[in-house]
Each structure stands twice: as structure tokens, then as C-alpha cells.
Amino acid sequence: MLIKCIPVGNMEANCYVVTDEETLRCAIIDPGDESNVILDYIEDTKLKPEAVFLTHGHFDHTGAADVVAEETGAPIWINKADTVPKGKLEMYRFQAPAGTLFYCDGDTVDIGGLHFRVMETPGHSRGSVTLRCEDALFTGDTLFQGSCGRTDLPGGDMDMLMLSLRRLGELPGDFEIWPGHMDPSRMSVEKTVNQYLRYAMGL
């Protein structure tokens, strides 16, 4: 598994291109902006995109999803709770175009030899998910290095976020954390330094 991080847009959301190196099939997670930069990377490395995964519906994570999906032919996946019908203007929920696929807790989407497991981790938004693939967690705005997502936007809920953080922290084993903003981390590190995660887990 090869993970390429491309920070995009004014909010510097992390777009990840996750590739199965055997087949060059890849998933594009959170193409929030700068579709040209993302598409250039895909083209330069001759990857075959098979999915656009959205961790949640906020505009800084979804802004280029339509264009990237159209240009690559890969379908968009998102949790339905973070969507509105196309044409309904909203900043914090995604206007899902026709053909959008909806994933929910427990679903697995295969990209070549990679298996992306969906965990619903609400709190930052109602439809936030964490994608788990091998020993990597793509946490969106649920869990950051040393912090967690805000809960003051529509659909945010601090109690739910704490339950979600706890669920992530209680996954067996150690995981790389690939968050929606800022630098990556590891769960073992976050359990010692991240006060939000520690509080959620009763540590």
C-alpha cells in the first residue's frame, strides 16, 4: 500500500491517494480542492482510480469530488447522513450527484488487493466515517495529531465524538493515523499525548 498525501485548498485538507502497488488501482480520499494537482499525480503515476472516498461532507474535503470523479470515472462514496440532494446549496453537507454510492458502518470496499473497512465515527459531523485499511486509519476530521475535530458546526456533537474517539482507540493493535488536516501520527502515540482521546478512553 502506497499512501500519497496532497494537502489541498485554503484549509489545507489532506487528500490521500492510496494505491495497491501490485495493480496500480487506487482510491482517492477527500479531494477537497485543486483537482488539477490530484489528477496530475494520478496521470503521472499511471494509476487507475476506482473510488473517491469522502470521510465527511464538509466543503474543504469534498470540493473537487465531482470533477475528480468525472475525470477518472471512479464513483463517489460517502455516508448518506452527510449529504443533501444535488442543487440544495449547503457548505457542510455534500450535494451528492447521481451515481453517488453510500457506505455505512461495517461495509468493505475493495480496491485491488486493498480492503477499506468503513467505521461510522460521528461527532465532527453526523455522517463522519473513518476508513481502515491494513494498519492505516484515515480519520478525516474525527482524530488529529494531538487533537480532534470541532463540534460547533451543524451536525456536530461532542458526546458522539467522544464515543467515536473511544471506539477508534479501542481497536486492537496499533495503527497509523492519517488525519484530514495536519501531520500523520500513530495510535500508540496519541494514546499518550492526545488529551481528547485520553479523556474519551478514560485514561
How many CB atoms neighbour CB 135 within 10 A? Answer: 12
Residue 141 interacts with Zn ion (CB under 5 A)?
yes
Q: How many angstroms separate the CA atoms of 86 and 88, rounded? A: 6
Query: Which 144-203 positions form the footprint of Zn ion (CB under 5 A)?
Result: none
Query: Which 57-86 positions form the footprint of Zn ion (CB under 5 A)?
Result: 58
Residue closer to Zn ion, measured from CB, 66 or 82: 82
CB of 182 to Zn ion, least distance (A): 13
CB of 141 to Zn ion, least distance (A): 4
Secondary structure class of 45 (helix, strand, coil): coil
Residue 126 interacts with Zn ion (CB under 5 A)?
no
Residue closer to Zn ion, measured from CB, 58 or 93: 58
Ranked by CB distance to Zn ion, the top (closest) residue is 58
Selected range binding Zn ion among 14-22, 28-36, 53-61, 68-76, rule: CB under 5 A: 53-61
Query: Which 15-44 positions form the footprint of Zn ion (CB under 5 A)?
Result: none
The answer for residues whose C-beta is within 8 angstroms of residue 195's C-beta and 6 or more apart is none
* DSSP E strand boundaries for 32-159: 48-53, 76-78, 83-85, 94-96, 101-102, 108-111, 114-120, 129-133, 136-140, 143-144, 147-148
Q: How many angstroms separate the CA atoms of 3 and 16, rounded? A: 7
Residue closer to Zn ion, measured from CB, 72 or 83: 83
Q: What is the dihedral of CA 31, 129, 60, 142, to 10 degrees?
A: -130
Quick one: residue 59, left, alpha or beta (phi over 0 = left, psi -120 to 50 = alpha)? Answer: alpha
Selected range binding Zn ion among 56-64, 80-88, 108-116, 131-139, rule: CB under 5 A: 56-64
Expressed in angstroms, the distance from the first to the final Cα of the chain is 32
Selected range binding Zn ion among 34-42, 54-62, 82-90, 154-162, rule: CB under 5 A: 54-62
Contact 161, 128 (CB under 8 A): no
Residue closer to Zn ion, measured from CB, 42 or 137: 137
CB of 56 to Zn ion, least distance (A): 6
Residues in the interface with Zn ion (CB under 5 A) total 2
CB of 187 to Zn ion, least distance (A): 20
CB of 181 to Zn ion, least distance (A): 8
Judged by the rule CB under 5 A, the positions of this chain that interact with Zn ion are 58, 141
